[in-house]
Amino acid sequence: MDTNPRYELIIYWSNDDHAFIVEVPELPGCMADGDTYQEAVANAEQVIQEWIETARSLGRDIPTPKGRLLFA
């Protein structure tokens, strides 16, 4: 298993949550947060691994990381 998947992360500050939020658009529902930017990214890395492990255990497809996503 790739311990450093290269999924795109979208990171932003949430005034409502008073935390940095990280979304992983290629993995539906995969999000994390943290009090600092670094904490949010570290939490996202953990959640990505858990998302992949859960998908595997359920026999679901795991998307191949595409890297940078472009939106029109």
User: Residue 43, Cβ neighbours under 10 Å: how many?
Assistant: 18
Chain-centroid distance of CA 71 in Å reads 18
Tokens at residue 70, please? Answer: 């472009």
24 neighbors 11 (Cβ within 8 angstroms):
no
pTM (2 d.p.): 0.84
Tokens at residue 25, please? Answer: 């658009």
Tokens at residue 43, please? Answer: 């939490």
Distance of alpha carbon 20 from alpha carbon 43, whole angstroms: 11
Q: What is the pLDDT of residues 12-62, one digit of tens each?
A: 999 999 999 999 999 999 999 999 999 999 999 999 999 999 999 999 999
